[in-house]
Amino acid sequence: MANILLIKNRKREYTDHYLATSPPLGVLYLAAYAREQRPGKDVFTMVDERVYAKTSREWEAYLKDLQPEVIGFSSMSIEQDQVDYLLPVFKRALPRAKIVIGGPLASSSGARLLDDANIDYVVKGEGEIPFTQLLEALDGNEDYPFDQIAGLAFRDDSGKIIDNPPSKNRADLDALPYPAYDLINLQDYVGRDRMTPVRTTQLYAPLFTSRGCPYHCIYCHDIFSGKFRAMSAMRVVDEIEHMINAYGVHEFEVYDDIFNLDKQRVKDISAEIKKRGLETYFTFPNGVRGDILDRETLEALKDMGTVHMAFAVETASPRIQKVLRKNINLKKIRENIAIAADLKIFTWGFLMMGLPKESRWELWKTIWFATSSKLHGAYFFPVVPFEGTELAQKYEEAIESHGEKRLWDYFLPEGALGAVGPRELSIMHSLAYFIFFFNPWRVYLIYTSGVAPFRRLVSLAFGIVRYIVADKILYTIKAKARKIFKFRITPRTA
Ligand code: B12
Ligand code: SF4
């Protein structure tokens, strides 16, 4: 029997924008799948560092008490600072425990992470099958030799790094067990900042009903590989009904990369929810593919209780759309945003700034596209070229030439691949928010959206002002001071 501790990591050095916290679906799937495949063999414990942050001393005491044999650590790339900080603490406390790292960081950076001697195994990409096979291998089951576990990177007995290619054999999504929600308390996530920008105080749960995306944009993660696979409408509604009955959840935050690729599936899900008489609310904060929607599909989404939907426009420049391989039909997405807004779905746009060779004119076009649309809200993200993406490979030189090579900030332009430099980009970035939010048209749209009553509108406006003015200036000062005096920014604990 293995005693397994699963940890959802957090960012160590953070600005307020990195505090969003939603239930850690990835690790909950891992535990559910392993439990099903190895019944009675393991005991799982789950710690979400974003909810229950511990100091290094508290971690040492906790680990010595719990004595896990396997520690599964789930992290995004942006959270690597906390990986670097915590893993030596873990190894010191429990030198014999096996440390496995998975999630977006592992998928992006792969075997390179084994440069850190504290990490024993790296699992790239989709985790259910390789993680369960790894548990078998650690138990000594010879049917699962380490070098045959797809997507696993590890050191062999001689210390050589073995990097197994990812699997072509993926989990059957309809056969996946429901995520192991018994390992967390869903109440812990109520009232916190979350991916859905309009805060509610309702109990909610995430849904991930499809994996993979056929579009292959050059900046995108490829955690689930390009091929699109989806749960059937029945399996999706079964999970929704299970969450209502077992946990009293009626609001669902959908994280799919491209929930609406199969229009018929969307309509079937909506019809099935209606048929079963379920009371449901949905938000799509990770975005839908906005140009392949149509009125009928949007009405089906509205019927099933959709209150919020993000549209990933990224750029209003057709040239850059091609470079990114996103190829959004800008006319169509604008029309669909308007239909959604008219249906009283709170629409949010994702725009990127600082894209390859992006000119001042192209930046203005993007700002104008968003401002003149019926979007209720928008994020203008400075581009972050994540390791492992085509964008990062193609523009490696540009990334290095703007100072030390490290992950740029998602909210504050520190680097730029575009034709304008970081300083100008930063000014345009602030201007984009001002022009977008502080105009009577936007205020009218938000006020009449039916979703955001006045109090929310005011808090949204304060949030944006604080972000552009206070946080940006404060963060810049702190970052400069950090460089000069070499101290860390706001460690929350320890
Ligand atoms: C929901 C979500 C969030 C939530 C929280 C996610 C969470 N619970 O951890 C919030 C809103 C907080 C968030 C924030 C951000 N996010 Co986000 N987010 C997502 C999203 C949409 C869904 C995540 C999810 O639940 N997926 C479903 C589950 C099933 O997949 P999974 O978590 O990846 O887990 C699977 C595998 O990765 C693996 N696995 C995961 N953990 C482990 C652990 C072990 C031990 C093993 C073996 C395997 C394993 O197995 C799992 C099952 O197959 C993804 C996009 C996506 N398609 O996944 C982006 C994504 C994870 N986010 C991303 C980014 C960049 C961010 C932000 C930086 C963006 C921003 N604008 O602020 C912030 C950073 C937050 C921070 N901590 O500072 C990137 C990460 C890229 C990277 N290389 O790190 C992604 C991939 C999207 C993208 N743009 O490419 N995000
Ligand atoms: S459409 Fe979205 S999910 Fe699909 S490859 Fe492009 S960015 Fe990724």
Q: What confidence tens digit (pLDDT) does each residue in 261-306 have?
A: 999 999 999 999 999 999 999 999 999 999 999 999 999 999 999 9
**pLDDT-based confidence at 170, cuts 50/70/90?**
confident
Q: Which fold has domain 194-481?
A: pyruvate-formate lyase- activating enzyme (3.80.30)
Looking at residue 197, its pLDDT comes to: 78
Looking at residue 337, its pLDDT comes to: 98
What is the 394 CA–ligand 2 centroid distance (Å)? 18
What is the 81 CA–ligand 2 centroid distance (Å)? 27
List Cβ neighbours of 234 (8 Å cut-off, separation of 6 or more): 272
List of E strands, 182-256: 204-207, 210-211, 229-230, 251-254
What is the 254 CA–ligand 1 centroid distance (Å)? 13
What is the 142 CA–ligand 1 centroid distance (Å)? 33
Residue 488 has pLDDT above 60, yes or no: no
State percent of the chain over pLDDT 90.
68
Biggest distance spanned by C-alpha atoms of the chain: 68
What is the 441 CA–ligand 2 centroid distance (Å)? 30
Residue 15 has pLDDT above 80, yes or no: no
* Beta-sheet pairing, 251-254 with 204-207: parallel
Report how far residue 322's alpha carbon sits from residue 329's, in angstroms, rounded to the nearest whole number: 11
- Ligand 1, residue 18: give the atom nearest the CA: 78
Instruction: Give mean pLDDT, residues 229-252.
Output: 97
Give the least confident one: 178-182, 369-373, 421-425, 465-469.
465-469
Report how far residue 382's alpha carbon sits from residue 467's, in angstroms, rounded to the nearest whole number: 14
Backbone angles phi, psi at 103, to 5 degrees: 100, -170
Residue 48 has pLDDT above 70, yes or no: yes
Residue 124 has pLDDT above 50, yes or no: yes
Residue 416 has pLDDT above 80, yes or no: no
Q: Which residues line the pocket of ligand 2, CB cutoff 6 A?
A: 213, 215-217, 220, 257-258, 289, 312, 326
The structure's pTM equals 0.93
The residue that leads in pLDDT, 262 or 464, is: 262
Q: Answer for the pair 108, 137: CB distance below 8 angstroms, yes or no.
A: no
Residue 254 has pLDDT above 80, yes or no: yes
**pLDDT-based confidence at 490, cuts 50/70/90?**
very low
Residue ranges, comma separated, of all CATH 3.40.50.280 domains in the chain are 2-163
16-46 pLDDT, tens digit per residue, is 555 678 999 999 999 999 999 999 999 999 9
> By C-alpha distance, which of 175, 135, 186 is closest to 1?
135
Looking at residue 23, its pLDDT comes to: 96
Report how far residue 8's alpha carbon sits from residue 127's, in angstroms, rounded to the nearest whole number: 14
Averaged confidence pLDDT in the chain: 89
Residue ranges, comma separated, of all CATH 3.80.30.20 domains in the chain are 194-481
Highest mean pLDDT among 221-235, 265-279, 421-435: 265-279
Looking at residue 489, its pLDDT comes to: 38
**Nearest CA residue ID for atom 1, ligand 2:** 215
Per-residue tokens: 224: 């689930």
Looking at residue 329, its pLDDT comes to: 97
303-362 pLDDT, tens digit per residue, is 999 999 999 999 999 999 999 999 999 999 999 999 999 999 999 999 999 998 999 999
Highest mean pLDDT among 48-52, 165-169, 441-445: 48-52
- Ligand 2, residue 215: give the atom nearest the CA: 5
The rounded radius of gyration (Å) of the Cα atoms in the chain is 23
The CA-atom distances, in angstroms, between 361 and each of 368, 468, 491 are: 10, 22, 40
2-163 sits in which CATH class? alpha beta
Specify the length of the chain in residues.
494
- Ligand 2, residue 324: give the atom nearest the CA: 6
